Structure 1
Amino acid sequence: MKNPPAKPSQLITKEFARILNSNYNSKKASLTAKSNQEEKEDANAIWYSLEELENYIHYIKTEGTKDGYTIDGIRFYFGEYPEDEKHGEKAGLTTLFLVPTGKKVQKNTTAKVQAFALVDIETSSDVESLSPMNYGNIGRPPSLIY
């Protein structure tokens, strides 16, 4: 292979990505009353360098092809870090993680004439065989205004 991609350092497991997204959906999606605890200022923006994004794109295209997918995009999911010491100052705060999307390559031996009559109606979906990417830089404090 000419230029194999380096495995991005921000990869997380699919299971952890689901935890992040579930936490966000259950806690941040609806407004809740403030608790008596001291509130930490949450992230309202996440930043990735171009180098990190280009490396991830190169990685998912290459690994996706190996897994039999045509990678066509990246879906961004909101998540929330679990409230435990393992995540330090990020515990309970918002994050954003990236998941590659694509279509499984269909190996079809149908004649070319018949192929013109076929319409590809398969939609792009999350490619679960590839690791999501996390750990961008958060915009706090102070909050960023767009």
Structure 2
Amino acid sequence: MKNPPAKPSQLITKEFAKQLNANYNNKRASLRAGQEEKEDANAIWYSLEELENYIHYIKTNGAKDGYNVDGIRFYFGVYPEDEKHGEKAGMTTLFLVPTGKKAENNTQVQSLALMREASSDLQDIEPMNYGNIGRPPSLIY
């Protein structure tokens, strides 16, 4: 490789990832105690192609709508207890929401102000959901 990518600063150890996953599994199990026991998802998978396509989609549509898209926020959710959601009813999901700021004229003062301003969820662009939870849905990291 000519130009290897920089090592991300947000990397964690495998041991810490296992601890986080175990904590989630234990917490979610205690919340569901006494309810009908369907195995809940504790991991969601998206293909690189799906993620790359979504990134392209949000950058393109964000720019078209006058936003500088700068990230993606991941939200946990639970599907409604509704038969239209089938086996996913009452189960955990993860959905992605683009974040960014309204694009402004690039004067130096405005650029500094924009850098300090926190990124907000962009409500004009659709979130992404429906990753693959796999079979069985619960995985151990």
Q: Same fold (TM over 0.5)?
A: yes
Q: Distance in 2 between matches of 1:117 and 1:76?
A: 28
1:29 Cα deviation (Å)? 7.0
Residues 97-118 of structure 1, C-alpha deviations (whole Å, 9 max, x = no match): 000011110136x5xxxx2696
Whole-Å Cα distance in 2 between the matches of residues 92 and 117 of structure 1? Answer: 45
Match of 1:133 in 2: 128
SS at match of 1:78: strand
| 1:83-122 map, 5 Å | 83-107=81-105, 115=108, 119-120=112-113, 121-122=116-117
Higher helix fraction (1 or 2): 2
Structure 1 segments of 4+ aligned residues over 3 angstroms from their partners:
28-33
Question: Which amino acid counterpart does residue 31 of structure 2 have in structure 1?
Answer: T
**Structure 2 length normalisation: TM-score?**
0.71
Percent identity between the aligned chains?
A: 74
Equivalent pair of 2:104/2:110 in contact (CA under 8 Å): no
1:1-146 to 2 correspondence within 5 Å? 31-32=30-31, 34-35=33-34, 37-107=35-105, 115=108, 119-120=112-113, 121-141=116-136, 143-146=138-141
User: 1:61 aligns to what SS in structure 2?
Assistant: helix
**Structure 1 residues 70, 49: closer, same or farther in 2, change over 3 A?**
same
Larger RCO, structure (CA 8 Å, separation 6 or more): 1
Question: Structure 1: 5+ residue runs without aligned partners?
Answer: 1-27
SS in 1 for 2:55: helix
Cα gap change, 1:98/1:117 in structure 2, threshold over 3 Å: closer, same or farther? closer
Once residues 53 and 121 of structure 2 are traced to their aligned partners in structure 1, the CA distance between those partners, rounded to angstroms, is 19
Q: What is the TM-score when the length of structure 1 is the normalising length?
A: 0.69
Task: State the shift of 1:50 in Å.
Answer: 0.6
In 1, Cα distance between equivalents of 2:137 and 2:127: 27
Mapped to 1, the partners of 2:93 and 2:32 lie a distance apart of 21
Separation in structure 1 between the aligned mates of residue 140 and residue 50 of structure 2, nearest angstrom: 23
CA contact (8 A) 1:44 1:140 kept: no
Letter in 2 for 1:101: T
Q: Distance in 2 between matches of 1:129 and 1:62?
A: 12
| CA 1:29–1:105: 2 relative to 1, 3 Å | farther
User: Equivalents in 1 of 2:118, 2:65: separation in Å?
Assistant: 18
Q: State the number of aligned residues.
A: 113
